Amino acid sequence: MFTVNLLKILCWIVGHIPLNLSLWSGRVLGRIGFYLDARHRGIVLNNLKTSFEGEKTDNELNVIARTVFENLGMDLMEFCRLPWLKEEVLKGYVECEGLENFKRMHDRGKGIIFLTGHLGNWELMAIFYALNGYPVDIVVRDLDSPAIDEFVRWVRTKAGNRIISKGRSMRELLKILFEGGIVGILLTRMFRGARGYSFTFLTGLHAQIRGLPLWPWQAGPRLYLPL
């Protein structure tokens, strides 16, 4: 409990730093991480080399990789702002294209599946819908540290979203869709074992929910893909 409360206090402090200074600090943290975290830097560079083989120089790939780390640093700083975001703040902060399409599908009363990845600030995207009156049930992996997991869940659910642990997701998600709810799934999240369909992507083996393509027929949802 002490650790969780300490994280909430730090979150409050970081979350109330002026936005421009916060994002600048995030870029600095990300750049430091790029130079210090050799293991993850190597993974990013290896994936970039596989994706852009023969198209970009090593220097160009290094610039892209460094930008990836800087973006993650900004995501971390923005994550600390999420518990205190209000709907009126979003108007000058987030721009959503095609929201009217989502609303039209939602008004039909059928379940909606959000398929996305770890792109940009994916945490902010979920908060955006909740603050606009459309709470999302999000599939997540339980973090290894119970204290950090509790803190992260607190941030993610502060605006009204709900969390579903990946290990018990299938039956619960189908129930939510049958009831006309909204489900959010990160396609970059691994689903191993009997529930997962394995495939090779870039340089490694990955897995996704085996039954995902069948959900629209089982629960009758509208499939919506925010990118």
Q: 184-220, pLDDT tens digit by residue?
A: 887 765 555 545 555 565 555 555 555 555 455 455 5
Which pLDDT score, from 0 to 100, does residue 227 have?
Answer: 43
Full residue range of the structural domain in which residue 61 is found = 2-80
6 pLDDT tier (thresholds 50, 70, 90): very high
Is this structure's pTM higher than 0.85?
no
pLDDT at 113 > cutoff 60: yes
- The values of phi and psi at residue 138, to 5°, are -105, 130
Which of 79-83, 124-128, 164-168, 208-212 has maximum average pLDDT? 79-83
Do 51 and 100 lie in one domain? The reply is no
Query: Are 103 and 43 in a shared domain?
Result: no
In terms of DSSP bridges, do strands 196-201 and 204-209 run parallel, antiparallel, or are they unpaired?
Answer: antiparallel
The rounded mean pLDDT for the chain is 83
Q: What pLDDT does residue 180 have?
A: 85
Higher pLDDT, 81 or 209: 81
pLDDT in the model for residue 186: 79
Asked if pLDDT for residue 114 goes beyond 50, the answer is yes
Higher-scoring residue by pLDDT: 71, 115: 71
Residues 104 and 190 in one domain: yes
Q: Are residue 118 and residue 213 in the same domain, yes or no?
A: yes
Listing DSSP states for 124-173 in one string gives: HHHHHHHHTT---EEEEPPPSSHHHHHHHHHHHHTTS-EEEEGGGHHHHH
pLDDT bucket at 161, cuts 50 / 70 / 90: very high
Domains contained in the chain, number: 2
- pLDDT at position 79 over 80: yes
Confirm whether 26 is domain-assigned.
yes
Both 69 and 130 in one domain: the answer is: no
Of 80, 112, 137, the residue that ends a domain is: 80
Quick one: pLDDT at residue 118? 75
- Do 69 and 101 lie in one domain? The reply is no
Cα–Cα distance measured from residue 26 to residue 43, given in angstroms and rounded to the nearest whole number: 21
142 vs 100, 153, 183, 224, CA distance in Å? 33, 9, 17, 25
pLDDT score of 26? 97
Nearest residue to 184 via CA among 133, 131, 143, 139: 139
Quickly state the pLDDT bin for 120 (edges 50, 70, 90): confident
Residues of the chain with pLDDT > 70: what percent?
A: 81
Which of 23-37, 120-134, 137-151, 182-196 has maximum average pLDDT? 23-37
Residues 106, 191, single domain; the answer is yes
